Structures are given as structure tokens and as C-alpha cells.
Amino acid sequence: MARKVLVLGEVRDNALRNVSFEAVAAGKTVAEGGEVVGVLLGSSVSALGNELVQYGADRVVVVEDEKLEQYTSDGYSQALMAVIDQESPEGIIFGHTALGKDLAPKIASKLGSGLISDATALEEAGGNLVFTRPIYSGKAFEKKIVTDGLIFATIRPNNIDPLEKDESRSGDVSSVTADIKDLRTIIKDVVRKASEGVDLSEAKVVIAGGRGVKSEDGFEPLKELADVLGGAVGASRGACDADYCDYSLQIGQTGKVVTPDLYIACGISGAIQHLAGMSNSKVIVAINKDPEANIFNVADYGIVGDLFEVVPLLTEEFKKLKVSSS
């Protein structure tokens, strides 16, 4: 059945996050031949509307207001509800990001709707849309079917392939006015502690360090390898607790969940809490001096050795490959 589906485009540093395009692709599946409407919220975001269209949205609705310059759940929920009231969608898709995890439950509560959170796959089976999501810290998966009412879901970044960008596609970009008032939260300043470069939650390659890096300087070889591979650096909670790096890099049950194409774990033992944040990576490489380390149980490839010897060797070999292929 054809549906109208709203897809929230998430903006960071005046650019659309990649998960926005993945959400559009998921929206296409939910729409089943119906209309996918992109939604952009912010103080100056209308120029990004055409990019959402090029990735598959049929049209885009924009709410611009100075009160939306920084994310607050109050401001964004009022703006989004104005769009929902106008469009009356049968489906809503968000990215399962920090923003999506905060905003989606609030919108679902306002709509009296159910919510499928952290979906990693979406398919049509037997006339039903089937969402797959991990449970029990990623040790099992469950399948969810919405039998009645609004289809509302958040999708995990890096799991649903975006549609190919088509710069010839065109669609209407229109504005909606929302009465944003009585905000209980005001953002006065944003202090960024995350590392520069590739966004960890959306990176295709992640180089992660654990207690085995031994110090803050121990992350330098990992950063060099990440730079060569165009990836991001992450860490286990043990490394963060030891003050080797900032908690913004933490991967695991109480940190970020990542699903890159390649995950290289360096000096990480493989506690279940860490595995919950990375076990769904497509290819896992483990480097550890302990051959009995639990990380080898989930790794596709294992290297028993000193990370301070192995990682520089990998970096040099990847540099050679880049030179030979250029």
C-alpha cells in the first residue's frame, strides 16, 4: 500500500549527515511507491533541501526559525509537529542518532504511536514490512511488524544503503511556519570535545584502542592508521576510564554503537559491554598480545602480537597500496 512517509534530515555543521540519506532510502521502502517527504529543521537549512531530493526524497518541507539554530527537544518537537499536522503522514523515519534517540520517543508520545527503535534492516515479506533490530546487547535480533496505525522507526547509521545520488532529480522545497514558544531549554554555548575528522558513528572504518594502548600517546599510531584509511578513532571504556582519551570516543553499551565496513580493535580484550557497540561491524580485525582474549571470538581476522609493532606495519602497507593505486 502506498504511503506518505516523513524523513527527518539531520544537519550538522551546515551539512546533511549521511544517515539522512540512509533514512530516505528506508523511507522509500516504507512508502511502497508512495511519497517520501524530507523534513529539515534549523535556522538556515533550506539550501540543503535539493540534496535530500537528489538522494530520493520527492519533496522537502523546511521549518526555519532562530530558535532552531541549536537542537532542543522542545523546539524541534514543536517544529516537527507543525509539519506532521500539515502532512498527516502514514510513516516517519529518523536516524538512530543522539538527536533521533531523544526526539523520536517524544514525538511518538505526542502522537500516541508505537516506535521501532534502532532498526538495522528493513524488508518486505508476506505483504508486511519487517524491521530487524538487535536486542540483549546485540546477542540476538528480533523482527517487528507494524499491523496498524503509524509506522514510526529510527534506523541505525551505516546499516541501510542510501540510494545513488541523482543530480538530475528535482522536487519542491517549501516552508512551514511553526509557533515555537515556551522553550524550557536554551543553548547558550556548545563545547565540542569530539575529535575532528570523520564522524565516529558514521565512519566506514574505525580503529579502536583499549587499555593495551597504555597511554594517551599510545593512540597516536591508531590515529595515523585511521588517517591513511580515511577512518575514525574509537576506544573501549577501559581506555576512557584510564584517561587515555575522551569519553566522546567510547564505543560500547554505554557509549556509541558503530557498524563500519572495517573495525580494527587494538589492545581491546573484548568485554561484552564493548562488543555490544561494535559486534555488527562487517569485518572485524583484532590485534592483541593475549591469544585467549575474548575479542578473537568475534573477529574475522586475528593478529596475536604487540599493537605498537603491528599497527605501524599495517599503516606502511596501506600507504604503499594507496601510492600504487594512485
287 is in an annotated binding site: no
Sequence letter at residue 309: E
211 is in an annotated binding site: yes
269 is in an annotated binding site: yes
Distance of alpha carbon 211 from alpha carbon 69, whole angstroms: 39
264 is in an annotated binding site: no
Distance of alpha carbon 291 from alpha carbon 271, whole angstroms: 15
Distance of alpha carbon 180 from alpha carbon 75, whole angstroms: 6
Sequence letter at residue 296: F
Residue with cell 593478529: 303
Partners of 210 in beta bridges: none
Given a contact cutoff of 8 angstroms between Cβ atoms, the answer to whether 50 and 173 are in contact is yes
270 is in an annotated binding site: yes
> Is residue 147 helix, strand or coil?
coil
236 is in an annotated binding site: yes
280 is in an annotated binding site: no
Q: Which of 129, 150, 154 is nearest to 7 (CA)?
A: 154
78 is in an annotated binding site: no
54 is in an annotated binding site: no
Burial (CB < 10 A; 0-12, 13-18, 19+), residue 126, is exposed
160 is in an annotated binding site: no
Distance of alpha carbon 142 from alpha carbon 114, whole angstroms: 16
Q: Where are the alpha helices (DSSP H) in 64-216?
A: 73-87, 98-111
Please work out, in degrees rounded to the nearest 5, the angle formed at the alpha carbon of residue 121 by the alpha carbons of 118 and 124: 130
274 is in an annotated binding site: yes
Burial (CB < 10 A; 0-12, 13-18, 19+), residue 244, is buried
Return the DSSP state at 240.
Answer: H
272 is in an annotated binding site: yes
Q: DSSP assignment of 181-226, as one string? A: ---S---------SPSSS-GGG-SEEEEE-GGG-SSGGGHHHHHHH
326 is in an annotated binding site: no
284 is in an annotated binding site: no
273 is in an annotated binding site: yes
Q: Which of 54, 48, 36 is nearest to 11 (CA)?
A: 48
Which segments are annotated as binding site? 211, 236-237, 250-254, 267-274, 288
Which segments are annotated as binding site for FAD? 211, 236-237, 250-254, 267-274, 288
